[in-house]
Amino acid sequence: MSDHHSACLLLYHYGHMRKSVNILKFVNLDDQPDRHAFHHNPQNDLDLEPAFPDPELCVVGSADGLVCFNSFSRTDLDSVYICNPTTREYVKLPKAHGDRVYPNLVGYGFGATPLTNTFKVVRIYQEKILVQSGSDYYKSDLQVYTLGGAGSWRSAGGINCCFGCREFGQSLDGKLHWLVTDVNGDELICSFDLESETIQTIPSAPPPPVVPEDDWIRRSIGVLGNCLCLCDNTERTSLDIWVMKEYGNGDSWTKEFSIGAPEEWMMFDEMIHLVMDFKDGEMLFLFWNDILFSYNPETKSVTRVDVCEPYFSATVHVPSSISLETIFGAQQVKQINPS
């Protein structure tokens, strides 16, 4: 992500049960080789309340101006929406096969093919297979919806891995990536090629996560300097950043940074995600869904970035004026704030 052009930081601010909100915030990025800065104008915020009165949405991803949402609302469970915040258009996709009913899980990814710029949503329906020996595992079916295509979901193949339901696919060079667990409980990275719709697994970063039974693994995948990276704070003592220098080569994983906790607010008991890297070398992280902070590798300093109240998600977004009507047709498209 070294060249962001007119990219901004898209924050979906949903608040919490006692103070729920439903707002998209656009934080402009002034990203220069020797400095960077954030600029937020509240007048540009987009209130999603008229279209989505129940603020239980998750941002699956942003690609070339379009944003994919997944609904967790009880009245709208597992619905998928495509939105262009610039044109304020949105479309609800048809339901896919396989209900999100425990112990089965559902995961998602969203991206565009680099050659034809075709937008695709990937839904992973994970069915838990119960084995008498106790070695239960997940059988996952990758379902694909092509925007502007046949108007239906189709299966792109399966893999016996668990994707979970909290992580969304990270896009790199036309492929989506998830941290997964295979039938033996080993961690891998599942890669899905959006162009060819082929599935492969590549080695995850060492060391294999080992945690006590009453604890959990805190590892997340991201993109740093056009390479896959992995954030690991499982041991709670530091945030370790591993980088895969050569794509697909497990031996090329290198621990690039180990970040301590110099600030009282910075704890390692929750998930930490890499949001983006800047031209000056700093990196922006999201701690849980509460705090944005940047890390300067030269000075080894951590700085809190206060641009939004808790709770929110964050993703890089490049605004576009592309109309959803050109993809779906006028009859399917709705407006968030109709005039």
> Which letter does DSSP use for residue 264 in this model?
T
Measured between its terminal Cα atoms, the distance across the chain in Å is 37
Instruction: Kindly state the helix (H) or strand (E) to which residue 128 belongs, with its residue range.
Output: strand 119-129
The closest alpha carbon to 187, from 159, 162, 166, 212, belongs to: 162
List pLDDT tens digits, range 243-252.
999 999 999 9
Supply the pLDDT for residue 96: 96
Supply the pLDDT for residue 5: 52
Supply the pLDDT for residue 38: 96
**Could you tell me what percentage of the chain is helix, strand and coil, using 3-state DSSP and rounding each to the nearest 5?**
5, 50, 45
Question: 3 falls in which pLDDT band (50, 70, 90)?
Answer: very low
Of the listed ranges 11-20, 52-61, 221-230, the one predicted with least confidence: 11-20
Compute the distance between CA of residue 273 and CA of residue 179 in angstroms, rounded to an integer: 13
Examine the pLDDT at 2 and tell me if it is beyond 70: no
Supply the pLDDT for residue 74: 86
Examine the pLDDT at 129 and tell me if it is beyond 60: yes
Instruction: Return the percentage of the chain with pLDDT > 90, whole number.
Output: 81
Supply the pLDDT for residue 6: 81
Cα 175-318-253 angle, rounded to 5 deg: 40
Rounded mean pLDDT, 151-159: 97
Rounded mean pLDDT, 13-41: 91
Examine the pLDDT at 228 and tell me if it is beyond 60: yes
Examine the pLDDT at 211 and tell me if it is beyond 80: no
Q: Among 1.10.760.10, 2.40.50.110, 2.120.10.80, 3.40.50.300, what is the CATH number of 8-335?
A: 2.120.10.80
CB contact set of 215 (below 8 Å; sequence gap of 6+): 234
Q: What is the mean pLDDT of the chain?
A: 93
Examine the pLDDT at 4 and tell me if it is beyond 80: no
Q: What string of DSSP letters covers 229-255?
A: EEEE-TTSS-EEEEEESSTT-GGGEEE
Of the listed ranges 25-29, 79-83, 262-266, the one predicted with least confidence: 262-266
Instruction: Kindly state the helix (H) or strand (E) to which residue 328 belongs, with its residue range.
Output: helix 325-328
Rounded mean pLDDT, 120-133: 94
Instruction: Return the percentage of the chain with pLDDT > 70, whole number.
Output: 97
Rounded mean pLDDT, 1-21: 77
Encoded tokens for 194: 């959006």
Examine the pLDDT at 100 and tell me if it is beyond 50: yes
307 burial type by CB count under 10 A (0-12 exposed, 13-18 middle, 19+ buried): middle
CA dihedral of 190, 199, 123, 92, whole degrees rounded to 10? 130
Question: 19 falls in which pLDDT band (50, 70, 90)?
Answer: confident
Domain map (residue ranges) of the chain: 8-335
The closest alpha carbon to 66, from 17, 14, 121, 106, belongs to: 121
Question: 268 falls in which pLDDT band (50, 70, 90)?
Answer: confident
165 burial type by CB count under 10 A (0-12 exposed, 13-18 middle, 19+ buried): middle
Of the listed ranges 47-51, 134-138, 206-210, 243-247, the one predicted with least confidence: 206-210
Examine the pLDDT at 253 and tell me if it is beyond 50: yes
Examine the pLDDT at 1 and tell me if it is beyond 70: no
Examine the pLDDT at 31 and tell me if it is beyond 90: yes
Rounded mean pLDDT, 12-21: 84
Rounded mean pLDDT, 167-187: 96
Supply the pLDDT for residue 209: 75
Rounded mean pLDDT, 126-147: 94
Place of tokens 């997944």: 70
List pLDDT tens digits, range 191-200.
999 999 999 9
Place of tokens 């209130």: 47
pTM, two decimal places: 0.94
Examine the pLDDT at 57 and tell me if it is beyond 70: yes
Examine the pLDDT at 326 and tell me if it is beyond 60: yes
